Amino acid sequence: MNEDLKDKTLDELEQTVVDLGQKKYLAGYIFDFIHVQGASEVSQITPLSKAFRAQLIEQGYHISGLELANKLTDKDGTIKYVFALDTGRIETVLLHDGGRKTLCVSTQVGCAMGCRFCATAKIPFQQNLTAGQIVDQVNLVCSVPVRASRSTDSLPVIQNHGRDAHVTETPHGVTTNRISNIVYMGMGEPLANYGAVLKSLRILNHPKGKNIGIRHITVSTCGLVPAIRRLADEDMLPRLAISLNAPTDELRTRLMPIGAKYPIADLLAAVRFYQSRTRQRVTFEYVMIRDMNDLAEHAKMLLKRLEGISYNVNLIEHNPFPGCEFAGSSGARIKQFASILDRAGIETTVRFRMGRGIKAACGQLGAGWLNEQGGPAE
C-alpha cells in the first residue's frame, strides 16, 4: 500500500479518504495543503479533525519530501538544485527565458539509455522516481521561506503564463512563486518511468494544485516507440519532444543505442500517430557534435526525413563533461545548419550554453557526480 499522500492524485486521495470512513471532500484539503499550501506534515492539514489526522498518522500516511543537498547559480541566472536520495542524487534546473521560467525536472536516478553525448548516461540506473518525488521538485522550487524571500539567494518572482507574476504567503511560512513551463528533460528517460510520469502530470496539471496548463508541459524522450503510442491514447496529452540527433539509423545508433531497437522510420510513425491525436507540433532536439552530425548534408537529410510532420527544431550545442569523447560544433557550423532549416521554413532555435558554468546545461546533469567519482577533468 502506498502511504505517501504526495504521491497520490486527487482521485486517489478521495478513494483513500473514503476507505478510511471519511467524507470524500476532505481529500481536497489534503491535496491543497500539500501542493498549494506547502504542508510537510499531516498534522499541518488543519481543516481535518485532530482525530482524522491522528488516524492517518497511525496508519502510516505521511507527506514525503526531497532533501536539498545543494543549490548552484550560474552567472546567466540558471539555477541548479541537487536533491539527495538513498540511491544517489537528482538534479533540477530552473531556466530563465525572457519572461518565462522553465523548470527541467528529473524522472530517474541515473539512466539506462546509454546516449554517448550525455553525462547522465554515464551514471548507472538506480531507480525510477515516484510521482511524489517528481512533483516535489516543482513544489520545492516554487516555495521560498518567508524569512529568506528578500535575500539575494531567494528565487526570482516568476511569471504566471503571461500574466503578472504574483507571490502568495501560505499558512506554513513559504512564499509561492509561479513557474511558466515544466519540461521532463532532466536525468533519466521519462517514458521509461511511464506510470509515475503520467501521475505527476495529472497532479501538476490539476486546477486545485499547481494548475500548470498541459500545453505548458513538455515530455522529452529518446524515442521509446511503444510508450509514445501509449501516451497518444491518454486523456492527458503534453507537448512531445524527441531527442533525434541524426538523420540516419546508422549515425543515430552510434550516438544513441536505442536507435538499434527503434529505427527512425518506426519512431516517426509513432510521432505522426501522436500528432494525429494532439494536433500539436513536435519538437525535435538535435545535439550538434563536431564532425559527427553537423554537416550541411546532415541538415538536408534531416529535412527530407521529417517531411509530412509538423515540427520545430532545437539545435543544442554539445556541452562537455568528464570523459566525453565528443566536442561541440563550431558557431559557424551551427549557424550554417540552422540557416538550411530556416530557408526550408522550419522554425529553428539554437540553444547555447545556458547553465554550463554549474554543469546544468543540456547533457551535463550528473557531471558533477562524475567528477566526485574521479572522472577525468574537462
Q: State the virtual CA torsion across 260, 265, 270, 271 in degrees, nearest 10.
A: 110
CA distance 31 to 40: 12
Q: Kindly list the domain boundaries of the chain, sorted by start residue.
A: 5-58, 67-372
Give the number of other CB atoms < 10 A from CB of residue 308. 8
Task: Answer with the residue of higher pLDDT: 337 or 319.
Answer: 337
Statement: residue 376 has pLDDT above 70 = no
Rounded to an integer, the average pLDDT of 277-306 is 96
Statement: residue 337 has pLDDT above 50 = yes
* pLDDT tens-place string over residues 165-202: 333 455 554 545 679 999 999 999 999 999 999 999 99
Statement: residue 203 has pLDDT above 80 = yes
CA distance 119 to 56: 42
Task: Answer with the residue of higher pLDDT: 288 or 176.
Answer: 288
Please give the single-letter amino acid code of residue 18: V
**Bridge-partner residues for 59, per DSSP?**
none
Question: What pLDDT, on a 0 to 100 scale, did the predictor assign at position 149?
Answer: 30
Statement: residue 155 has pLDDT above 60 = no
Task: Collect all residues with Cβ–Cβ distance below 8 Å to 194 and sequence separation of at least 6.
Answer: 227, 230, 231
Q: What percent of the chain has pLDDT over 90?
A: 78
243: which 3 cell numbers? 531527442
Active site residue 91: yes
**Homologous superfamily (CATH) for 67-372:** Aldolase class I (3.20.20.70)
- Phi-psi map region of 76: left, alpha, beta (phi>0 left; psi -120 to 50 alpha): alpha
Active site residue 189: no
Question: What pLDDT, on a 0 to 100 scale, did the predictor assign at position 356?
Answer: 77
* pLDDT tens-place string over residues 67-104: 999 999 999 889 999 999 999 999 999 998 778 899 99
Rounded to an integer, the average pLDDT of 223-251 is 97
**pTM of the predicted model, to two decimals?**
0.89
Statement: residue 144 has pLDDT above 60 = no
Given 111, 118, 324, 362, the catalytic residue: 362
Question: What pLDDT, on a 0 to 100 scale, did the predictor assign at position 297?
Answer: 98
Given 14, 91, 189, 285, the catalytic residue: 91
Question: What pLDDT, on a 0 to 100 scale, did the predictor assign at position 160?
Answer: 30
Rounded to an integer, the average pLDDT of 310-334 is 92
CA distance 167 to 239: 27
Burial class (CB in 10 A: 0-12, 13-18, 19+), 81: buried
Question: What pLDDT, on a 0 to 100 scale, did the predictor assign at position 135?
Answer: 98
Q: What percent of the chain has pLDDT over 70?
A: 88
Q: How many CA atoms lie within 13 A of 208 on its CB side?
A: 13
Task: Collect all residues with Cβ–Cβ distance below 8 Å to 12 and sequence separation of at least 6.
Answer: none
Task: Answer with the residue of higher pLDDT: 11 or 359.
Answer: 11
Fold category of 5-58 in CATH = DNA polymerase; domain 1 (1.10.150)
CA distance 162 to 224: 33
Rounded to an integer, the average pLDDT of 309-328 is 91
* pLDDT tens-place string over residues 33-80: 999 999 999 999 999 999 999 999 999 999 999 999 999 999 988 999
Assess contact for 110 and 373: CB atoms under 8 A: no
Contacts 24+ apart (CB under 8 A), 74-77: 74/354, 74/355, 74/356, 74/357, 74/358, 74/360, 75/357, 76/353, 76/354, 76/355, 76/357, 77/156
